[in-house]
């Protein structure tokens, strides 16, 4: 396990005294936050705290990768505010989804593409799981392909999350690890993916649109998503990623390995900046 440095930032005035989070033993569970001396912080409050901390690294003139999801949306919101109040200028963003593109455009954040700006100064995005090596599972919001392209092109990649995202091993939350696949013979690939991780008790499911119908979810790139649910965490993420990528018809997977420069985690005891 790589050694990590943790920089602690108190969430005062919400929490009077902060202690480091117990990063490596947490399991995924919903939490409500209560302190005798402070108001309750919701999960959205924590996401916003992490987002605001990350935006402190943004400087005028930067090319920015704009992530997708509820935490990344707080980042985009803050950037819009700083631009509209003149506290930031001359930034340009590359959105990782149509959703983020729409939000950023509505806040008058100038936008560009990787074609026009292949070198990104800083990307900020959420994550679904963060392990002790700062390796990630991403893509439960369905934007994994564009996220990976944008974040791989960034000199620096800051992850923002609340502490429910901390896991001791990837796949360990029991929630989905997504794989984007072409529509053609998706079932063939679903069966092959499930077989690949049989010994981890993997169950593969086609992601549905979520509108109550049996229609599949379609990504911004016109593909389907196969969600992998593991009973046991993945032991070697790099080997797993390699095997998934080698399958014909797989477009991208949600393992983001060795990509994060730092992870900003907000929890009831404060905000931690985790770096390798």
Ligand X SMILES: O=C(CO)[C@H](O)[C@H](O)COP(=O)(O)O
Check binding of 125 to ligand X (CB under 6 A): yes
Rounded to 5 degrees, what angle do the CA atoms 112, 116, 120 make? Answer: 75
Identify which range of 15-23, 139-147, 229-237, 243-251 contacts ligand X by CB under 6 A: 139-147
Q: Of the candidates 218, 258, 222, which has an alpha carbon nearest to the alpha carbon of residue 238? A: 258
Residue whose CB is less far from ligand X, 19 or 261 = 261
C-alpha–C-alpha distance, residues 176 and 142, integer Å: 11
* Catalytic residue of the set 129, 147, 180, 272: 147
Binding to ligand X by CB under 6 A, coded x per residue (else -) over 71-110, reads xx--------------------------------------
**Least distance (Å) between residue 275 CB and ligand X:** 19
Q: How many CA atoms lie within 13 A of 153 on its CB side?
A: 22
Check binding of 48 to ligand X (CB under 6 A): no
**Least distance (Å) between residue 21 CB and ligand X:** 17
Size of the site for ligand X (CB under 6 A): 18
Q: Which of 131, 135, 147, 151 binds ligand X (CB under 6 A)?
A: 147
C-alpha–C-alpha distance, residues 96 and 215, integer Å: 24
**Least distance (Å) between residue 65 CB and ligand X:** 12
Contact partners, residue 222, CB within 8 Å, separation at least 6: 183
Q: What is the dihedral of CA 260, 256, 100, 186, to 10 degrees?
A: 180
Contacts of ligand X in 55-74 (CB under 6 A): 67-72
C-alpha–C-alpha distance, residues 267 and 276, integer Å: 20
Identify which range of 12-20, 79-87, 134-142, 225-233 contacts ligand X by CB under 6 A: 134-142
Starting at the edge strand found earlier in the chain, the sheet holding 255-256 runs: 129-130, 136-137, 255-256
C-alpha–C-alpha distance, residues 243 and 239, integer Å: 6
Locate 274 and state its tokens: 């985790």
**Least distance (Å) between residue 199 CB and ligand X:** 26
**Least distance (Å) between residue 161 CB and ligand X:** 7
Q: Determine whether 147 is an active site residue.
A: yes
- The H-assigned helical ranges of the chain are 43-55, 70-84, 98-106, 144-152, 186-196, 237-245
Check binding of 141 to ligand X (CB under 6 A): yes
Residue whose CB is less far from ligand X, 69 or 237 = 69
Check binding of 207 to ligand X (CB under 6 A): no
Check binding of 28 to ligand X (CB under 6 A): no
Interacting residues toward ligand X by CB under 6 A: 67-72, 125-128, 138-144, 147
- State the catalytic residues: 147
């Amino acid at each position: 396990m790589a050694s990590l440095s943790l920089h602690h930032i108190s969430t005062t005035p919400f929490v009077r005294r902060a202690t480091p989070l117990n990063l490596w033993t947490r399991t995924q569970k919903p939490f409500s936050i209560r302190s005798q001396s402070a108001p309750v912080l919701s999960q959205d409050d924590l996401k916003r705290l992490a987002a605001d901390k990350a935006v402190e690294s943004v400087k005028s003139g930067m090319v920015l990768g704009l992530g997708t999801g509820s935490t990344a949306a707080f980042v985009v919101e803050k950037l819009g505010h700083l631009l509209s109040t003149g506290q930031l200028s001359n930034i340009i963003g590359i959105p990782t989804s149509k959703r983020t593109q729409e939000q950023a455009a509505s806040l008058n954040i100038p936008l560009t593409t990787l074609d026009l700006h292949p070198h990104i100064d800083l990307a900020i995005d959420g994550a679904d799981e963060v392990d002790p090596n700062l390796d990630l599972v991403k893509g439960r919001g369905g934007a994994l392909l564009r996220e990976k392209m944008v974040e791989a092109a960034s000199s620096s990649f800051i992850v923002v999350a609340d502490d429910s995202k901390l896991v001791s091993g990837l796949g360990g939350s029991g929630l989905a690890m997504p794989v984007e696949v072409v529509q053609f013979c998706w079932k063939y690939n679903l069966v092959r993916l499930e077989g690949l991780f049989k010994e981890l008790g993997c169950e593969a499911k086609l992601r549905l649109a979520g509108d109550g119908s049996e229609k599949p979810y379609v990504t911004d790139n016109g593909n389907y998503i196969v969600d992998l649910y593991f009973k046991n965490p993945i032991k070697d993420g790099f080997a797993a990623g390699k095997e998934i990528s080698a399958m014909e018809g797989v477009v991208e997977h949600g393992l983001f390995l060795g990509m994060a420069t730092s992870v900003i985690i907000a929890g009831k005891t404060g905000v931690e900046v985790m770096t390798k």
